[in-house]
Amino acid sequence: MTSRDGYQWTPEIGLAQGVPSIGVISPSTNLTSGSGPWDVIVVGAGYSGLTATRDLCVAGLRVLLVEARDRIGGRSWSSNIGGYPFEMGGTWVHWGQPHVWREISRYQMRSELEESFDFSRGVNHFQLRANNGDAIMSHEEEDALLSGALEKFVNIDGDMGRKTFSFAHDPFHVAEARKYDDMSAKDRLQEISLSLTPNERSVLESFILLCSCGTLETTSFFEFLHWWALCGYSYRGCMDHLISYKFKGGQSSFAIKFFQEALSTGNLSYVFNTPVESITDQGDTVALISRDGRQYVATRLVSTIPLNVLNSVSFSPPLDAQRASATNIGHVNQCVKVHAEISNKDMRSWTGISYPFNKLTYAIGDGTTPAGNTHIVCFGGFNNHIQPEENIDETKKAVENLAPGNMDIQRLVFHNWSKDEFAKGAWFFSPPQLLSTSLDALRARHGNIVFANSDWAVGWRSFIDGAIEEGTRAAMTVKEELRPSVAPRPHL
């Protein structure tokens, strides 16, 4: 099946909207007349919604899953072009992420992981293109350069952040850590600027912006330190957790397992292609009205609508002032992620940074397609924003500028998250002060409505792991309230 989402370009067909994905659900609904009302409505079929839906269905509750798209996965989904998966959003997972690893084990997919990097053949180098000139270096030199720069950036306590962010999953418990949410990445860079070489400054800024996909001014230093702590306070940990291990069959091969298990219980109703207009807590029930006027009613509702989209839905009673303020501020990530299939097989072992002048900044060799071509995944838009489908020649030029003379493009694949009305940005990354003022409010329930999304997870916030964490929390909250109570067994 082909989703409406995503784009691909080839010299033969030009630019075309929509890419095939095993995450597309057909038929788009299994509703029949008289299906409702339900115990729970779950809004959104990303990982938070899929986790909550599955757990509630397995618990015996009748669930209606409402999704605006034609597919599952939300901001983490994969295309399947010629039998090869291009990851359109969230990609990488790791056994150090407890919730995601639990689910990988549940679905017996541990052997389905593969490494993105392959330095066994080809050019086997890192290419840095910066304002102070171009440089080719080994991957060992790349690691030393970036590791050294990152350690200067995060070393706020003489122990690489370990003392201050000792509670990596919930650092707000530590008063000393909270103050760093007042700082931007630019503020911290100014503090250490004299200690950085020009190359260190280039790779450090590009790595920070790869994480936040905002600007240095809008990137919370606290949230970067939070990521650093979760990755074990090391550059190697960052590489392992953030960009090394992915599913051979793509993210959609993982997400579909959640959906299929929920469906197998017989307790799941679903309706896709159904954007939400309003959600009303009526006291005993919650009513959802879609944009086309359909109404669905349940005892509880789990909303997994992302932060940047939450203010596009009308809630009654209105959301509290702090949550409403946070939704109007939103997160800063406007990442552009472009996949390039190129004919140069030797580029499989290439990595590169082209900063700050190029519209795509950071890229790695990420696979080999069935045609034997190299798959390069590119990130950018941080300082020189790009709308890839609006000017495909400009997009091709940005890919080629990463490694001039080595990017013979055979195909481009991408999803423009900034223009996606159901995302309005890529993975969550906070501006300064948003988390310290609003995290608790974003996690709070609203009457019979429970909010769950990776955007306000406690642990791996903005990651697939955080989405599963939040879906698990929401399902447990609702199960405890709605599941028939079981009388305790007498003690013998």
Could you tell me which residues are annotated as the binding site for FAD? Answer: 48, 67-68, 276
Among 63, 469, 401, smallest CA distance to 259 is for: 63
Is residue 242 within 8 Å of residue 248, measured between CB atoms? no
Is residue 368 within 8 Å of residue 347, measured between CB atoms? no
Is residue 245 within 8 Å of residue 90, measured between CB atoms? no
Binding residues for substrate: 379
Write phi, then psi, for 304 (nearest 5 degrees). Answer: -110, 25
Cis peptide before 431 (omega within 30 of 0): no
Residue 196 DSSP class = -
What tokens appear for 274 in the block? 């159904």
Long-range contacts, stretch 126-129, CB < 8 angstroms, 24+ apart: 126/350, 126/351, 126/352, 126/353, 127/350, 127/351, 127/352, 127/353, 127/402, 127/403, 128/199, 128/202, 128/203, 128/352, 128/353, 129/352, 129/353, 129/354, 129/355, 129/358, 129/401, 129/402
Collapse the DSSP code of 150 into the 3-class scheme (helix H, G, I; strand E, B; otherwise coil) and give the result: helix
* Residue entry with tokens 């784009």: 7
Binding residues: 48, 67-68, 276, 379
Is residue 445 within 8 Å of residue 473, measured between CB atoms? no
Is residue 381 within 8 Å of residue 359, measured between CB atoms? yes
Write phi, then psi, for 9 (nearest 5 degrees). Answer: -130, 135
Identify the H or E element spanning 40.
strand 38-43
Cα–chain-centroid distance for residue 443?
18
Cα–chain-centroid distance for residue 451?
17
